[in-house]
Chains A and B, each alone.
Chain A
Amino acid sequence: MSEAAAVQTPTSETPMPETAGPSRRRVAPFVVLAVAAVLAGLFWILAASKSGTEDKVGLVESPLIGKPAPSVRSTTYDDAPFDLARRKGSWVVINFFNSRCVPCIAEHGDLMAFVAQQATFADGAEFYSFVQPPNDDDDVRAFFAERGGDWPVVRDDDGRLNVAFGVAQVPETFIIDPSGVVRVRWAGQIDAVTLSQLVQQQRDLYGKL
């Protein structure tokens, strides 16, 4: 607040001494009104802010939802090029993770189940893991060697993709429709049933396009 109060009040205070005669001008109410107007604005902004979403597990808001996914051009850990734009035409699920993150480890089995389930459909969703740096290459490879999963794992060594998707804390899962529009952002650990239901729900909503 009070910077504003602080900045404003001296304007009433400092010039006063020079001009102050026996008759005192009513200055304070006007200064106070000006300060109050500024603070009301601040108050309104604070009151309107969404609070306490950071640690939420589940569907969370994202400015990306309903908008085309950020462009993604990178390589996978098998050194194959990866371009998200070329995945258009199918439903895509992206899971941001880090091999040291505990919920990521915990959800890995469910992700395997989900991928296996989608593989049984002719037009099943494609699944990609995006790494959140810093993460040692060997650790990532060891993670998959140890726990299974043979889907492409996409590099993000400079963290640009994480920033583009606005990933706050891994794991996060995004569902992208066949036209390349982001439909769902899920923060935190997810299980196979929920994920497959979410994808189905989105298919029903937005068709196969």
Chain B
Amino acid sequence: MSAVVLAEGVNGLLGHSALIIGFAACVFGALGLITATVLKNPRLARAVNAYVWVALAGGVAAIAVMIKALITRDWSLAYVQKVGSYDTPPLFNFTAVWSALEGSILLWLLLLVMYLAIIAHRYRARIADPMVAWALVVMFIVTAFFFFLALGPTDAFRAGVTPADFTRCCKGPNPLLQNHVLVLFHPPILYLGYVGFTVPFAFAIAALITGRVGEGWLVETRRWALFAWGFLTLGIILGGWWSYEVLGWGGVWAWDPVENASFLPWLTGTAYIHSVMVQERRGMLRVWNLSLLLATFSLTILGTFLTRSGVINSVHAFSDGTIGPYLLGGFGVVVAVSLALIGWRGDKLRSPGAIDSPVSREGAFLANNVIFTLFAFVVLLGTVFPLIVEAREDRQIAVGSPFFDTMAQPIGLVLLFLMAVAPALPWRKASGELLRTRLFWPAWCGAGALAFSVVMGATGFASLLAFGLAGFAAGSALRQLVLATRRQGVRGLLGRTNGGMIVHLGIILIAVALTASNSYTRSAEFTISKGETVEFAGHTFTLVDLTDFETARAVGIKAAISIDGGQAYAPAISKFTANGQDIATPSVKTGLDKDIYLTLENGSKPSTGEAKIKVFIKPMILWLWVGGLMCALGTVLAAFPGRHRRRPTDAVSAPINVAQEPEPADV
């Protein structure tokens, strides 16, 4: 077979040009702004701001060219050969853009330039303020780094080698990525979260560089962090949903390294959006909050490295050896710069205040932070532990869900307890009597939840404790919401505290659903013939039909199984002809109290009418998705200013507060 490199096509040329222009714009932007800030030249700073639009154009054009190349099946590009095919339906052909490493970097880049443009536009009047300027410099540099990745190590516009046979060369995306519409939503939403943490990171670095001791930078950052956090949360939940609907193993979370990589920044980000309130209210924990933001951003880069470099085996990993060193280098630079800045400025920024009593709101937030950090540490340790062992002993081990589940359970219980108590705690110091009054109803809710779960037949100490604490925590959140709405009507649902309580309710629902589904899932495997009925867990399953099917892309077997004599559900196995990969498609009967999850297993034969099926009875799964929706809703509500929004503690530096009128709700 002769390998001929096609001459660089139009799309390759356009894509490369867009990336080079974007990269150059970011480099010039960063250098220009640094010069303007050092020379204190506001006119230059304003002029430099124009580079933002060039970078935006570059990032948008790059991904647009790739989408066009995929739609027109431009086989001159290696990436189109990798993820494109004539048979892929339009929707999945579009999502093929981010179905492999090179394209996912283009998506990352697109979101990054959009954040960059929004920040630059929003603060265009204050570009001369060193705080804003440095934040933009950081964003320019991060964007330049991703332009560089897209140009070199993960070049999506590389010219392809002419394949011997076009009909056989190009398989389309991984079959798992062309099986469910969630592929359209999960990656971009998750990336909005990941990339969104660049903004608070940039302001944190700027705060350290300028040494602004005041809380001004916080005000800039808080909503952006909340915005990114909301998308990260939603993205993670959607990922779980996708796993449940597509992968056919009956679970939502497997502690896979890629899942952990998204969970790590979520943990530190969650810690931040709690502890930042202590700083706004009491002016404490300044360095700690900065560290959390720096940690969150570093973890997104580290997570990208872990999952995109192939050092860790994972179902999600796009193994590709070439990008690893660059991402690791990027991580190293981010960490080194962060640590150096904290070492330099840390003592100066530290606040003089003290926590009066551990039994106080700030004490609870501190406990929350310790727990979240511990959680993150445990997850990180479990994720990289195989690498540590491999480096020391030259053998491969895997750290699986038993480790994570064992560690997560007590941590989760403590978090539920904190969620129950913290909203009732006043700032500074709580008296026993006050707590008794405030926790009276929530405690009864907890007792009620416990009694209810016992009546429903729940067993197991840890699960019962979880349900009781969940009731307690839900009582606390509801108490706050009831008091707020009684005072302010519908507006009582707005604002950080009240929106936060709705997020709490969502998280509690998720915790309850996970506890129930992890503890009480029952499953069984049956081999049944056509017409036969089996009984399991009080339900009957009748194999109505078992047929072969063939589509343009796949051949497979489909069963029709009637549950309790009712509607037929159709689990299937498809073999995608281009990849030869078997994909099981589960079929789920969703209910308020439980899901009945059916999969068709290998070994089913339509010729004999004999099917191997697996049945999972999974309690309360629906509430997991409801909880996720409530988190999203609560985040939106929390972004609106509440009526009693306090003005931030007085800032030391004038320029920030001059322009800092109450912001419109920009999310």
B-contacting residues of A (Cβ < 8 Å)?
1-7, 9-10, 12-14, 16-18, 20, 24-29, 31-33, 35-36, 39, 42-43, 45-55, 63, 100-102, 134-136, 138-139, 166, 168
Contact = CB atoms under 8 A, between A and B. Distances in A.
Nearest to B284: A17
B582 A100 contact: yes
28 contacts: A2-B292, A5-B338, A6-B291, A6-B295, A7-B373, A12-B350, A13-B288, A28-B287, A28-B343, A28-B344, A32-B339, A36-B336, A36-B339, A45-B387, A46-B387, A49-B390, A50-B311, A51-B309, A51-B319, A51-B321, A52-B320, A52-B322, A55-B319, A63-B394, A63-B395, A102-B579, A102-B581, A135-B602
Contacts of B581: 102
Contacts of A26: 347
A139 B388 CA distance: 40
A6 B346 CA distance: 14
A13 B285 contact: yes
A173 B306 CA distance: 28
Contacts of B298: 1-2
Nearest to A2: B295
Nearest to A44: B391
B310 A29 contact: no
Given A5-B291, A46-B311, A51 B324 contact: yes
Q: Interface SS of chain B: helix, strand, loop or mixed?
A: helix
A139 B374 CA distance: 48
Q: Interface SS of chain A: helix, strand, loop or mixed?
A: helix
A11 B335 CA distance: 19
Interface string B309-352: 11101000101111011001001100110111011111100111
Given A28-B343, A63-B394, A52 B328 contact: no
Nearest to A6: B373
B444 interface: no
A54 B319 contact: yes
Contacts, number: 163
Contacts of A63: 394-396
B64 interface: no
B369 interface: yes
B350 A1 contact: no
A51 B311 contact: yes
A100 B313 CA distance: 22
Nearest to A166: B396
B460 interface: no
A2 B313 contact: no
Contacts of A36: 336, 339
B353 interface: yes
Contacts of B387: 45-46, 49
Contact of B384 (A28, A46, A100): A46
9 closest A-B pairs (Cβ-Cβ)? A2-B295, A28-B346, A52-B321, A102-B580, A17-B354, A52-B310, A32-B343, A3-B377, A6-B373
Nearest to B312: A49
Contacts of A48: 391
Contacts of A45: 384, 387-388, 391
A81 to B, nearest CB: 26
A52 B319 contact: yes
